[in-house]
Amino acid sequence: MAVIGKPLTSTLVLKYEDGLTPAGAPRIRQMGLKHVKPDADHADLHDIAVALFSLSDHPLTAVILQDSTELVEEPEG
């Protein structure tokens, strides 16, 4: 029986600098924006992340898209 992937939702993870550690290295934190449509355009998501952090004092260091997919057995037929 074949198994197919059914896209569910995605989470946009935004990593940013939030001060320094006691050793003087950048402290990296992250926040997640959940329930992103799995077919959302990657360039649009990146532009949104950059626009959001342009309103913040914290520099954006990474934009990560985490996809969730359900694996289901394809019905025979």
Q: Helix, strand, or coil here: 63?
A: strand
pTM, two decimal places? 0.83
**Domain spans, the chain:** 3-70
**Residue-level pLDDT at 38:** 86
Given a cut of 80, is residue 51 above it in pLDDT?
yes
Residue 33 confidence (pLDDT) above 90: yes
More confident residue, 38 or 52: 52
In the predicted structure, residue 75 carries a pLDDT above the cut 90? no
- Helix, strand, coil shares of the chain, percent, nearest 5, are 15, 55, 30
- pLDDT of 27: 98
Residue with tokens 């990657």: 42
